[in-house]
């Protein structure tokens, strides 16, 4: 039996006059998963998040979070949702500790233990004033405030902006731990590698419309693998005209092809000949993502 979604979005549309921000968006986010919401800047990621949290009035559609109406029950929903906006900023002359304690109190939580634990994990100096912080440390404040109230659902809009690579890895480890402990995480990103590394599923948005929602591993399987072979002698490359093989390119005794199915049959055919070099590469999300946008540009 399939779990009831934590977030259930149906037909979500937001227009700015005649300009469409998002159109007829349908999406489920399930308990305990890390869902990646992927697209370049301007694709509609932030509009979607803000409309789901009633920070923007939606034009049409229905959003349920914990079974509650996102707009009618927005106050109650926010008690159970941690949120990091893409434009996070705070009072410049307040100390980090005071900012976080204030925000924690707004969630109705008095226990500061988790606040201190996450701050320590990220190496955040809580005694500095906000204006004294670097961009990366300001982002850490945003991350801490999103998770410190220990809410069931956390929504993150481009969470790693400004973080150095080592801190990004530490943050990814933290996300995995939170997910294992039952947190549901919905994070937007244009950084392909981070979505591939930490997310269970990915939703790709293009020009305000959802293109695909699927497990990352399934998407990679559908994209196929790139096989490159160098033979010692010339062969009849027409032998590779079979189901599941496309984009065959020949250069002398070298051949490259994309294999989406029947990989065993392709390898059996290759093994009939004297091979000098061979490589098999699984497509990563970067290649997958660019395929979607290349198709868009050519239309």
Tell me the DSSP string of 48-103. Answer: HHHHHTTSS--SEEEEEETTEETTTTHHHHHHTEEEE-TT----TTSBHHHHHHHH
CA neighbor of 202 nearest in space, from 184, 223, 178, 186: 186
- Overall average pLDDT of the 113-117 stretch: 97
User: Which of 167, 191, 215 is the last residue in one of the domains?
Assistant: 215
Say if residue 9 is in the same domain as residue 121. no
Residue 32 domain boundaries: 1-80+152-215
**Is pLDDT at 288 greater than 70 in this prediction?**
no
Percent of the chain with pLDDT over 90: 62
* The pair of three-digit structure tokens given for residue 117, joined into one six-digit string: 């634990």
Q: What is the pTM of this model?
A: 0.81
With 0-12 / 13-18 / 19 or more C-beta atoms within 10 angstroms meaning exposed / middle / buried, residue 139 is: buried
With 0-12 / 13-18 / 19 or more C-beta atoms within 10 angstroms meaning exposed / middle / buried, residue 287 is: middle
- Whether residue 171 lies inside any domain: the answer is yes
- Whether residue 292 lies inside any domain: the answer is no
- Whether residue 5 lies inside any domain: the answer is yes
- Whether residue 198 lies inside any domain: the answer is yes
Say if residue 136 is in the same domain as residue 163. no
- Overall average pLDDT of the 119-138 stretch: 95
Rounded Cα distance between 265 and 261, Å, is 9
Give the lowest-confidence range in 43-57, 124-138, 151-165, 230-244. 230-244
**Is pLDDT at 200 greater than 50 in this prediction?**
yes
- Whether residue 240 lies inside any domain: the answer is yes
Q: Strands of 60-65's sheet, edge to edge?
A: 19-29, 7-16, 60-65, 68-69
Say if residue 13 is in the same domain as residue 54. yes
**Is pLDDT at 269 greater than 50 in this prediction?**
yes
User: Which of 187, 215, 243 is the last residue in one of the domains?
Assistant: 215
* The pair of three-digit structure tokens given for residue 19, joined into one six-digit string: 């300009």
204 phi/psi in degrees, rounded to 5:
-105, 125
Give the lowest-confidence range in 7-16, 17-26, 158-167, 286-295. 286-295
Rounded Cα distance between 97 and 116, Å, is 9
- Whether residue 220 lies inside any domain: the answer is no
User: Which of 215, 244, 262 is the last residue in one of the domains?
Assistant: 215
Say if residue 34 is in the same domain as residue 165. yes
Rounded Cα distance between 192 and 34, Å, is 14
Rg (CA), the chain: 23
- Whether residue 289 lies inside any domain: the answer is no
Say if residue 138 is in the same domain as residue 276. no
Say if residue 59 is in the same domain as residue 171. yes
Say if residue 187 is in the same domain as residue 74. yes
pLDDT at residue 43, rounded to an integer: 87
Say if residue 169 is in the same domain as residue 61. yes
pLDDT at residue 102, rounded to an integer: 93
Q: Residues near 240 by Cβ (< 8 Å), separated by ≥ 6? A: 248, 255, 257, 266, 269
Q: At 42, which CATH number? A: 3.40.50.300
Say if residue 238 is in the same domain as residue 274. yes
**Contact (Cβ atoms closer than 8 angstroms) between residue 229 and residue 283:** no
Q: Residues near 171 by Cβ (< 8 Å), separated by ≥ 6? A: 122, 143, 159, 160, 163
Rounded Cα distance between 64 and 12, Å, is 11
Say if residue 72 is in the same domain as residue 2. yes
- Whether residue 290 lies inside any domain: the answer is no
Q: What mean pLDDT is reported for the chain?
A: 89
**Contact (Cβ atoms closer than 8 angstroms) between residue 185 and residue 175:** yes
- Domain total in the chain: 3
Say if residue 269 is in the same domain as residue 195. no
Say if residue 69 is in the same domain as residue 159. yes
């Amino acid at each position: 039996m399939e779990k009831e979604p934590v977030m259930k979005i149906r037909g979500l549309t937001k227009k700015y006059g005649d300009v469409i921000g998002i159109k007829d968006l349908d999406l489920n986010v399930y308990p305990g998963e890390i869902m990646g919401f992927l697209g370049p800047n301007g694709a509609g990621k932030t509009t979607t998040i803000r409309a789901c949290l009633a920070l923007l009035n939606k034009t049409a559609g229905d959003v349920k979070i914990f079974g509650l109406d996102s707009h009618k029950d927005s106050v109650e929903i926010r008690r159970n949702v941690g949120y990091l906006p893409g434009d996070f900023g705070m009072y410049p002359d307040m100390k980090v500790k005071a900012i976080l304690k204030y925000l924690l109190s707004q969630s109705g939580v008095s226990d500061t233990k988790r606040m201190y634990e996450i701050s320590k994990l990220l190496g955040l100096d809580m005694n500095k004033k906000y204006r004294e912080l670097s961009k990366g440390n300001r982002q850490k404040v945003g991350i801490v405030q999103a998770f410190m109230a220990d809410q069931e659902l956390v929504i993150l809009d481009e969470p790693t902006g400004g973080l150095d690579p080592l801190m990004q890895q530490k943050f990814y480890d933290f996300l995995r731990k939170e997910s294992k402990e039952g947190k549901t995480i919905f994070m937007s990103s244009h950084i392909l590698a981070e979505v591939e590394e930490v997310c269970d599923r990915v939703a790709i948005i293009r020009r305000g419309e959802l293109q695909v929602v699927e497990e990352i591993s399934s998407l990679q399987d559908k994209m196929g693998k790139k096989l490159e072979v160098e033979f010692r002698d010339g062969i009849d490359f027409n032998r590779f005209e079979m189901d599941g093989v496309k984009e065959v390119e020949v250069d002398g005794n070298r051949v490259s092809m994309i294999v989406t199915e029947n990989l065993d049959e392709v390898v059996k055919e290759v093994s009939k000949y004297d091979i000098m070099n061979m490589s098999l590469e699984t497509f990563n999300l970067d290649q997958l993502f660019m395929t979607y946008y290349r198709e868009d540009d050519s239309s």
